[in-house]
């Protein structure tokens, strides 16, 4: 019976049409049952839309209030939350924007959403403590086991997401689409939470490959060999990369 009721409620949330079986099970109230259902439905949508606005503030500013609410409602219909998914609800919004036909040639919009979700994940990651450069001298080489902090996220886009984000934050709603990127406007970013604030660090191609390989493998020796082969760099450059990452606190104790 419960699975059928869940399907009934899901149908109502999307279509606004409540099956008779569902209506019969609603306890009597001074308000008409259809009014109660409407209030509940609108309240649920309002809460989810508000949550999406807080997670995707730049997307919200770029497209404006009405357009964002329309996109959010369509997304909610396509990805209804479950009891266990409400805390981190919205993870598929970027994918929804990729397939959405109503983004009016704002090709960077999905990448912006992907970046903002990573920012949200970074901010809400479990707390840990960074392994900093000045700590290395006090640790035996055999005891050093580099691992990325839980808050670290690696982002890459062919669009200048950082510039678009800065522009949106200062200008509000963009009146015209941001100019499409050229080959030199792509961006690689590392996000990490430091002292309860998400910090953003620009990465060059070698640094981005290093961290990407690290997230996939975690074996420092294998990564160094791969970087040597791909970029023809020397050990000194590898040391400089490690020192940079240790100085900003990407690795954890």
pLDDT per residue rounded down to tens, the chain (253 residues): 545 655 666 666 666 676 666 666 665 455 466 766 776 777 788 889 999 999 999 999 999 999 999 999 999 999 888 755 667 899 999 999 999 888 877 889 999 999 999 999 999 999 999 988 888 776 666 667 788 999 999 999 999 999 999 888 886 554 444 554 443 478 999 999 998 899 999 999 999 999 998 888 767 778 788 888 888 888 888 889 989 999 999 998 7
Q: Which of 85, 104, 123 is the last residue of a domain?
A: 104
Residues 76 and 136 in one domain: no
77, containing H or E segment: helix 65-78
Beta pairing partners, 200? 191
Number of domains in the chain: 2
Q: Which of 72, 104, 136 is the last residue of a domain?
A: 104
Residues 137 and 88 in one domain: no
Residues 85 and 117 in one domain: no
Q: Which of 74, 89, 104 is the last residue of a domain?
A: 104
Residues 169 and 93 in one domain: no
Q: 186: domain range? A: 111-253
Residues 83 and 163 in one domain: no
Instruction: Quote the pTM value.
Output: 0.81
Instruction: Output the CA torsion sign for 13, 47, 199, 192.
Output: negative
């Amino acid at each position: 019976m419960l699975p059928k009721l869940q399907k009934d409620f899901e149908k109502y949330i999307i279509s606004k049409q409540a099956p008779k079986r569902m209506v019969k099970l609603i306890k009597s109230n001074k308000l008409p049952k259809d009014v109660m259902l409407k209030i509940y439905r609108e309240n649920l949508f309002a809460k989810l839309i508000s949550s999406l606005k807080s997670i995707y503030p730049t997307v919200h500013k770029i497209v404006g209030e009405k357009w964002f609410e329309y996109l959010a409602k369509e997304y909610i219909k396509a990805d209804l939350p479950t009891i266990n998914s409400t805390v981190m609800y919205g993870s598929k919004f970027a994918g929804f924007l990729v397939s959405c036909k109503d983004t009016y040639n704002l090709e960077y919009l999905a990448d912006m959403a992907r970046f903002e979700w990573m920012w949200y994940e970074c901010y809400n990651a479990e707390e840990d403590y960074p392994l900093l450069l000045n700590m290395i001298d006090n640790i035996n080489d055999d005891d050093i086991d580099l691992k990325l902090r839980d808050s670290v996220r690696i982002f890459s886009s062919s669009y200048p997401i950082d510039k678009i984000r800065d522009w949106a934050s200062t200008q509000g709603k963009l009146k015209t689409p941001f100019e499409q990127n050229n080959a030199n406007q792509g961006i690689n970013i590392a996000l990490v939470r430091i002292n309860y604030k998400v910090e953003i660090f620009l990465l060059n191609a070698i640094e981005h490959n290093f961290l990407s390989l690290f997230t996939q493998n975690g074996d420092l020796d294998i990564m160094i060999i791969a970087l040597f082969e791909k970029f023809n760099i020397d050990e000194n450059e590898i040391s400089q990369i490690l020192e940079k990452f240790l100085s900003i606190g990407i690795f954890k104790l």
